[in-house]
């Protein structure tokens, strides 16, 4: 129903906007809750056991994280008499809130729900979950000062490594994208303390790249690596561009995805964290392997039964192809 859909999307936008605009912890918590409640019907709209299971998992994790956040901010108010987001000073609620927000966006080691949830969803809802849903917790993470840097660096490094290792063994594209998301968020959290503007840049480029990747898979109607082998017959031009999109996600030089990684490594080296920068760069190699694997399956292998290939690319709707064209161009050539 379009009315229900409009209401839910409005709720989704409203929740995030409330969190953006709030300087009081209670209001921020309320925004996060509205956001979660709005996306749940969108996730369960296909009455499929996998979708319902994913929605339940998502609801439980998000409710737990929101409860942790509320508990931490109440504790902070009790200890310091302060509800203001910018004025957090006590280390205990600060740590707890950082962990709650990390749980919300799926940073390692609180990441295990993300691949499972994403795997049960439609690609469009998956895209919303991978991009829009990260905004509100990130706004809060950017606003809280004087967190213990060790916590953030540990979370960030664990995420880049887990995102690299986890994706190696996957055949399902949505799970690969989930692990890719964990790895990218790890990079953002690594640099959060030292340069918040770089974190925002990384978030923005990640959004653009993920957007084009999800739209490519949606146009192909493919959800596993095997299904990509016949994508050549479905959308020839797109198939030849997709490896560039994927390698941009991996962060290879002439492409857009290289920019945030390069600047982050440079900033880490400036902060005398060369070992950390080296580890992060090596973990990017892990991610690069599974992006290469998808590119290989898509572009360099031919499906044996190519005669039955359908060609929906001639009839694909502009609602999908226009944003796809813009996102793909941005993903490949923004460097």
By the 8 A CB rule, do 232 and 302 touch?
yes
By the 8 A CB rule, do 212 and 331 touch?
yes
| Stretch 51-60: mean pLDDT | 97
Instruction: Look at residues 169, 239, 166, 160 and name the one whose alpha carbon lies nearest to residue 206.
Output: 160
pLDDT computed for residue 314 by the predictor: 59
The count of C-alpha atoms lying within 13 angstroms of the C-alpha of 177, restricted to the half-sphere facing its C-beta, is 33
Average pLDDT, the chain: 93
| Stretch 179-202: mean pLDDT | 96
Question: SS3 for 180-206, per residue?
Answer: HHHHHHHHHHHHCCCCHHHHHHHHHHH
Rounded to an integer, what distance in angstroms lies between the CA atom of residue 170 and that of residue 115? 10
pTM of the predicted model over 0.85:
yes
pLDDT computed for residue 300 by the predictor: 82
Provide the pLDDT confidence category of residue 177 given band limits of 50, 70 and 90: very high
Rounded to an integer, what distance in angstroms lies between the CA atom of residue 297 and that of residue 286? 17
| Stretch 98-126: mean pLDDT | 96
Rounded to an integer, what distance in angstroms lies between the CA atom of residue 115 and that of residue 46? 18
pLDDT computed for residue 163 by the predictor: 96
Residue predicted with more confidence, 310 or 326: 326
pLDDT computed for residue 167 by the predictor: 94
pLDDT computed for residue 304 by the predictor: 65
Residue predicted with more confidence, 331 or 237: 331
Instruction: Look at residues 280, 12, 208 and name the one whose alpha carbon lies nearest to residue 125.
Output: 12
pLDDT computed for residue 315 by the predictor: 61
For 256-311, how does the pLDDT look when each residue is reduced to its tens digit (9 = 90+)?
999 999 999 999 999 999 999 999 999 999 999 999 999 998 888 776 665 555 55
| Stretch 44-50: mean pLDDT | 92
- Residue 84: beta bridge partners? 24
């Amino acid at each position: 129903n379009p009315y229900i859909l409009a209401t839910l999307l409005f709720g989704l936008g409203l929740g995030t906007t409330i969190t953006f605009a709030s300087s009081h912890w209670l209001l921020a918590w309320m925004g996060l809750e509205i956001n979660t409640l709005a996306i749940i019907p969108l996730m369960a709209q296909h009455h499929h056991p996998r979708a319902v299971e994913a929605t339940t998992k998502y609801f439980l994790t998000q409710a737990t994280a929101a409860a942790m956040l509320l508990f931490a901010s109440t504790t902070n108010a009790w200890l310091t008499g302060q509800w203001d987001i910018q004025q957090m000073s006590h280390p205990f609620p600060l740590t707890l809130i950082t962990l709650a927000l990390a749980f919300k966006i799926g940073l390692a080691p609180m990441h295990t729900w993300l691949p499972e949830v994403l795997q049960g969803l439609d690609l469009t809802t998956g895209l919303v979950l991978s991009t829009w849903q990260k905004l509100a917790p990130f706004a809060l993470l950017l606003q809280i000062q004087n967190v213990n840097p060790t916590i953030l660096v540990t979370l960030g490094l664990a995420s880049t490594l887990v995102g690299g290792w986890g994706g190696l063994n996957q055949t399902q594209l949505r799970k690969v994208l989930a692990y890719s998301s964990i790895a990218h968020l790890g990079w953002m959290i690594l640099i959060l303390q030292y340069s918040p503007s770089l974190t925002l840049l990384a978030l923005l480029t990640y959004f653009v790249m993920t957007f084009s990747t999800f739209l490519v898979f949606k146009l192909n109607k493919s959800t596993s690596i095997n299904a990509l082998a016949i994508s050549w017959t479905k959308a020839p031009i797109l198939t030849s561009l997709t490896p560039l999109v994927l390698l941009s996600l991996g962060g290879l030089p002439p492409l857009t995805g290289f920019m945030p990684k390069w600047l982050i490594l440079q900033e880490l080296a400036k902060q005398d964290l060369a070992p950390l920068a080296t580890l992060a760069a090596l973990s990017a190699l892990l991610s690069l392997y599974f992006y290469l694997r998808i590119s290989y399956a898509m572009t360099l292998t031919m499906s044996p039964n190519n005669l039955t290939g359908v060609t929906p690319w001639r009839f694909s709707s502009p609602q999908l192809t226009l944003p796809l064209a813009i996102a793909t161009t941005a993903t490949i050539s923004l460097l």
